[in-house]
Amino acid sequence: MKIIVLKGGNSSEREISLKSATKIAAAYKTKGHEVVELDTVLPISQIHENIQVTPMHIRQGSKNLVKLLQHEIVEKADFVFNALHGGFGEDGRVQALLDMLQLRYNGSGFESSGIAMDKIISKLLFQQNGIPTPDWIHFNKAQTEDNDTVIQKIKSKFKLPVIVKPAHEGSTVGLHFVKNIGSLKNAVYESLQYDGNVIVEEYIQGRELTVGFLDDAPLPVIEISPKHEIYDYQCKYTEGMSSYEVPARLDREVNKKISELAMKAYTALKCSGYARIDLRLDDNNVPYFLEMNTLPGMTDTSLVPKAARAAGIEFEDLLETILQAGMSDE
Helix axes 315-328, 14-30, angle to 10 degrees: 90
Q: Is 148 a catalytic residue?
A: no
From 118, 195, 232, 278, the catalytic residue: 278
> From 3.30.565.10, 3.40.50.720, 3.40.50.150, 3.30.470.20, which CATH number describes the 116-132+205-328 domain?
3.30.470.20
Instruction: Decide if pLDDT at 3 tops 60.
Output: yes
State the pLDDT at residue 47. Answer: 63
Q: Is 39 a catalytic residue?
A: no
* Superfamily of domain 136-202 in the CATH hierarchy: ATP-grasp fold, A domain (3.30.1490.20)
**Position 2 confidence tier, pLDDT thresholds 50, 70, 90:** very high
How far is it, in rounded angstroms, from Cα 35 to Cα 80?
Answer: 10
The answer to whether residues 106 and 1 touch, using CB atoms and an 8 Å cutoff, is no
Q: Is 62 a catalytic residue?
A: no
Mean pLDDT of 106-129: 96
Percent of the chain at pLDDT > 90 equals: 64
State the pLDDT at residue 230. Answer: 78
Find out if CATH 3.90.700.10 is the number for domain 2-105.
no
Mean pLDDT over each residue of the chain, to the nearest integer: 90
Overall residue count recorded for the chain in this entry = 330
DSSP string, 240-269: TSEEEESS----HHHHHHHHHHHHHHHHHT
pLDDT tens digits for range 39-58? 888 876 666 656 667 666 66
The answer to whether residues 219 and 210 touch, using CB atoms and an 8 Å cutoff, is no
Give the single-character DSSP code of 284.
T
In the sheet that holds 79-82, the strands lie side by side as: 34-39, 2-7, 79-82
Query: Distance of alpha carbon 20 from its chain centroid, rounded?
Result: 12
Q: Where are the domains of the chain?
A: 2-105, 116-132+205-328, 136-202
The answer to whether residues 123 and 131 touch, using CB atoms and an 8 Å cutoff, is no
State the pLDDT at residue 193. Answer: 82
State the pLDDT at residue 64. Answer: 79
Residue 3, class by beta-carbon neighbours within 10 Å (0-12 exposed, 13-18 middle, 19+ buried)?
Answer: buried
More confidently predicted of 121 and 42: 121
From 90, 297, 302, 326, the catalytic residue: 297
pLDDT tens digits for range 272-329? 999 999 999 999 999 999 999 999 999 877 999 999 999 999 999 999 999 999 998 6
Q: Is 282 a catalytic residue?
A: no
Q: Is 291 a catalytic residue?
A: yes
Instruction: Decide if pLDDT at 164 tops 80.
Output: yes
From 122, 171, 197, 302, the catalytic residue: 171
How far is it, in rounded angstroms, from Cα 195 to Cα 205?
Answer: 26
Residue 30's φ and ψ, nearest 5 degrees, are: -60, -35
The answer to whether residues 297 and 16 touch, using CB atoms and an 8 Å cutoff, is yes
State the pLDDT at residue 212. Answer: 98
Q: Which alpha helices (DSSP H) does the chain contain, by range?
A: 14-30, 55-59, 61-69, 72-75, 87-90, 93-100, 110-117, 119-128, 147-157, 181-192, 233-237, 252-268, 303-310, 315-328
User: What's the first-to-final CA gap in the chain, in angstroms?
Assistant: 19
State the pLDDT at residue 264. Answer: 98
Q: Rg of the Cα trace of the chain?
A: 20
Q: Is 229 a catalytic residue?
A: no
From 28, 231, 237, 288, the catalytic residue: 237
Q: Is 252 a catalytic residue?
A: no
What one-letter code names the amino acid at 214?
Answer: L
State the pLDDT at residue 51. Answer: 67
Query: Distance of alpha carbon 40 from its chain centroid, rounded?
Result: 19
pTM higher than 0.95, yes or no?
no
Q: How far is CA 324 from CA 1, 39, 214, 278, in A?
A: 11, 24, 11, 25
From 174, 203, 291, 302, the catalytic residue: 291
From 17, 20, 259, 293, the catalytic residue: 293
Q: Is 253 a catalytic residue?
A: no
Mean pLDDT of 112-121: 94
